[in-house]
Amino acid sequence: MSRRGLLLYSVLCGAGVLWSGGLIVALALGHRPVDKVVAVGLAALLTVPGFASGILSNRRGYRTRQPRRLWALASWVPPHVPVWAAIAAGVVFFGFWLAIVLAFVTLKGNPGVRPDGTYILDETTVVSRETYERQVDHQQQISLGVLGAFAVGGAFLCAARATDHEPA
């Protein structure tokens, strides 16, 4: 894959990070700016191609060697990538991970609607519309958190490979 293509995928993944992160913040504040299908669908369209390209280009370019030291940052990050960039990517990744964990902690069940319009959790517990919508928001937050974390990885991997000046 060309450097321009990798940079384009990195930018798309960056947009996926911003889109997912922005929607997670909006959901946490109780707002739902777009339908969940649009929110998760667009996040996936921005994220998945870049993440796949980042994995494939790094696998081919660096021949995927296991790191010498499992927990040393330098063993997982290509040498030409600045440490601050790796740390920034790690912090943003951790933010998405935290959003996923918090959504799972506050998820009280699988929301649903009976044919008579009653809102339920796990097909047995009757709840208010507000509780139902909050549980749907938590499910959406989990999906956006996973896609956001993948977007961070895709942006980092594509940018790292695109800025490597050694021959592939």
What does 1-62 look like in DSSP terms, one character per residue? --HHHHHHHHHHHHHHHHHHHHHHHHHHTT---S-HHHHHHHHHHHHHHHHHHHHHHHHHHH
- The pLDDT-based confidence of 161 (bands split at 50, 70, 90) is confident
The rounded distance, in Å, linking the Cα atoms of 82 and 89 is 11
Q: What pLDDT, on a 0 to 100 scale, did the predictor assign at position 68?
A: 58
Q: What pLDDT, on a 0 to 100 scale, did the predictor assign at position 74?
A: 53
Contacts of 162 (CB under 8 A, 6+ apart): 3, 4, 6, 7, 10
Q: What global pTM score does this model have?
A: 0.85
Arithmetic mean of pLDDT, 65-69: 58
Per-residue pLDDT at 62 exceeds 80:
no
66 versus 38: the higher-pLDDT residue is 38
Residue type, 156: F
Q: What pLDDT, on a 0 to 100 scale, did the predictor assign at position 152?
A: 95
Strand order in the sheet with 119-121: 111-113, 119-121, 125-127
